[in-house]
Amino acid sequence: MQNYLPACKIVSTHGVRGEMKALPLCDGAAFLAKFKRLFTSADGAGETRVLGVRAQGNVILLRLDGVTDMDAARAQVGRTYYLAKADAKLPRGRYFIDDMLGCDVVDADTDRVYGQLTNVDRPAAQDIYTVTDGAGEEHMLPAVPEFVKKIDIDARKIFVTPIEGMFTDAVNGDED
């Protein structure tokens, strides 16, 4: 688990006073606006103060301390900024994806281990978990309460109640 996670990537300048357009690499402008500082490195180096964050369509408009004009903003294009997980206050029952990756996915009733969580996609209303089993096969699991019963980050386990065929090949009924 990492202590610093990607927050945003600067893609262009916005105006002449140092504001920058950034692609959010976290939950978006409202989440990022809660942070008073960002870092220029994934190891926590290069701390800089956040002066302003606001949404503009699918990008974020960001103002940082020391970036006061278009030239200074232009020099930031392509740079990724990181947030300190210690600065984040997640709502109860919410977890960083980084902390969930690698957790065992376990049957809530039988304790059978189906595999490990290897990816989280956010295509629509709910996340989709990719679970990779011991044979390297990937299985998709909608991250909804009907299937995901409990997440225990400390134990590195995600307890689930899958439906038939979710982690095995469905029986097609034409066996000999």
Mean pLDDT, rounded, for 119-145:
89
- The band of 169, judged by pLDDT with boundaries at 50, 70 and 90, is low
- CB under 8 Å to 70, separation ≥6 — which residues? 13, 15, 16, 17, 18
- Cα–Cα distance, 35 to 56 (Å, whole number): 18
Q: Which residue has the higher pLDDT, 108 or 97?
A: 108
Domains and CATH numbers, the chain: 4-86 (2.40.30.60), 97-160 (2.30.30.240)
**Can you give the pTM of this predicted structure?**
0.72
pLDDT at 92 over 50: yes
Residue 170's pLDDT is what? Answer: 45
Residue (of 74, 80, 24) closest to 54 by Cα position: 24
Residue 161's pLDDT is what? Answer: 93
